[in-house]
Amino acid sequence: MRILCYGDSNTWGYIPGVGTRYKKEERWTGILESLTKAEVIEEGMCGRTTVFGDYVEPFCNGMKYIAPCVLSHVPLDDIVIMLGTNDSKRRYHVSAREIRYGMEEVILRIRETLARVNETARIVIISPPQIYPLADSEFDEFSREKVKKLQKEYQELAELLGCSFLNSSEVVEQVGCDGIHQRKIIKSLQRLWQKWCLQPRKIKTLGSFWCYDDKEVFTTNYH
């Protein structure tokens, strides 16, 4: 079994207050690999968003890298996406609903990419853990509310697109001194994984696609 985990600094394994990386066995992806005995492919990058980018962090638009990322690792059984925290930064000025739209675009791009190489995979959306921004940070109280709302927004999106959904707040025991990054993952990750495994493998693929005037045009007849 091969699982691709696509996310931000919490997937990369950022240690709050230090800035270095947790050891593999301490990262949630490493714990997942240990629990499942699957091959877990880590694709986490600090600052990554769903679709938003700027001149401060020009390489953090997750939409721009998802296609080559998927193509680099196929075949895959599961593609797990945990994004949205960085989208809530003050400078992006977007709502939780707009972040959901960004996540939707990423998922559609994944399916388009898989269709190109006649592959399928289950897509799992994970809502990011709750944040508690400090003063003078890139996040504020509005950011906190947006991230909180993503639990409902992402769950609805998963139902709409036929994806699996998990809430990371169920397994994050506490965040670190910066109020953003995971400090400890409790053992209930195993319980959450079991819940994940019990979910039906909802796999949808794009019916067909073609090119027209250098633009890719995709049908939306999922099956």
> Of the given ranges (35-44, 69-78, 150-159, 174-183), which has the lowest mean pLDDT?
174-183
For the residues 56-83, what does the mean pLDDT come to? 95
Residue (of 81, 87, 73, 92) closest to 165 by Cα position: 81
**Looking at the domain assignment, is residue 9 inside a domain?**
yes
- The rounded distance, in Å, linking the Cα atoms of 111 and 122 is 10
Mean pLDDT of the chain: 82
For the residues 185-206, what does the mean pLDDT come to? 55
For the residues 49-60, what does the mean pLDDT come to? 90
- The rounded distance, in Å, linking the Cα atoms of 75 and 114 is 9
Give the pLDDT confidence of 105-163 residue by residue, as tens digits: 999 999 999 999 999 999 999 999 887 777 778 988 899 999 999 999 999 999 999 99
Contact 64, 30 (CB under 8 A): no
CATH number at residue 11: 3.40.50.1110
User: Is a pLDDT exceeding 70 seen at residue 65?
Assistant: yes
**Looking at the domain assignment, is residue 206 inside a domain?**
yes
pTM, two decimal places: 0.83
**Looking at the domain assignment, is residue 223 inside a domain?**
no
Look at residue 180 in the predicted model and tell me its pLDDT. Answer: 66
User: Is a pLDDT exceeding 70 seen at residue 193?
Assistant: no
Look at residue 136 in the predicted model and tell me its pLDDT. Answer: 74
**Looking at the domain assignment, is residue 154 inside a domain?**
yes
**Looking at the domain assignment, is residue 94 inside a domain?**
yes
Domains held by the chain: number: 1
* Count of CB atoms situated within 10 Å of the CB of 59: 10
- The rounded distance, in Å, linking the Cα atoms of 99 and 105 is 10
**Looking at the domain assignment, is residue 28 inside a domain?**
yes
- Which residues lie across from 125 on neighbouring strands? 81, 165
Q: Which residue has 């990554």 as its token pair? A: 48
Task: Tell me if residue 78 falls in helix, strand or coil.
Answer: strand
User: Is a pLDDT exceeding 60 seen at residue 207?
Assistant: no
**Looking at the domain assignment, is residue 69 inside a domain?**
yes
- Its domain, for residue 121, covers 2-218
